[in-house]
Structure 1
């Protein structure tokens, strides 16, 4: 059973509902900061839709959630942005405001703030203004057709089609995961493993792609796949050792050893070419 908490000082400032939501936003931002994820414009961000917040806080209506978020933004406890690749995706991103200044958050320099001009003024470089100051000016993943884009698309395509949600956020999360050192092959294997495991689940029991990726549920499947590969390698190594004994003993069973196995035995330096010839396999 989940427990929700809040800071009394924050509650006194913006109300109980907003304080509870603020605590949740802070938790995910600190987690992203620890994992070096979702760093944009010198701040760490988290994202959620109103409907997702409603699932997290079933005792609040969507109207109460919107009001609470508006209070947090107005009080400058949080900042609001939109970093989705999909221009039709209205999922909002949130970062902690300057008045909080968490450990490790990067403060905006005076020079950076000076790069923004009032709306409609041509003096701001590249069309930046106060209205869009917290939106990304340059999309770091805007280059289409790159290897990272292709890999992310292939990985997401392996997810059950009826469970894919917020494609832009999913592709962004996949690229973040790949930058941590996880290979595309590992992640595809993890996606396929979850798809197979949950094939008989009802819609209410499945995990949609955005949540599966952002909540790190993929990690268990990657670990399981790695463990299985290591076990398979160990089993293969033991089998090669057994074949090496056949060869050194010149066993009649050597006739069952395939050319690929001979190549593997030589690569592992378990036998020599002379031993292979002596066993009648040369």
Structure 2
């Protein structure tokens, strides 16, 4: 059974899924460089289709694989190309990006260089190690890690939208990030999306707004405001109930027998009653 690994620093930068795929891409690029294969434009490449990645990583959906590859390209950890002679072949090729290999190739030490055979000759002798052949990049700027987390949050919020009405993903994510930057709570925004998805579940598709229009027009705001109003009403009802229970305790009402220890603790914490009043009413926390 194959085992999949990843670099924790890269995972912090682009997420776990992308880090696992990056490890696989790096392995095959190193192998191709060792065997002097797939050298194009000064870089060594490997290639794979989305479906092939799906076979390698059966626990990832096609959408997750595409998102992971997009993150790796955006972070300049890899670059994409297409070197097929068949113009209908859309299989993507991948090389290490500028944040790993700014000069276009894996940076070898003198000791590691002797593991390579001359062009056209058999590859390095058995026992030579090709691990860690690229220099590790500098620890990422904390802002990069923060951006990666924000991207994951934004992706999660967008994924709550009716899947077949998602359009203009880049616009949607930009609008979501802006809302979060303006102080909207991520959980509130996600709940707003889920509420709309639930409300529109029985609609014909033509009646469900495309996601880019929904976010750009700020239609989520009404749902977020409704959530805030509901919380305020719930808080007011809770405060009113606590005030009535506190009166029972202060008056030593027969209703005190219905008061639970949890309620007593909450009343003490809110300072609506004192410990002496609690004891006088025959209660304990």
Structure 1 length normalisation: TM-score?
Answer: 0.47
Larger Rg: 2
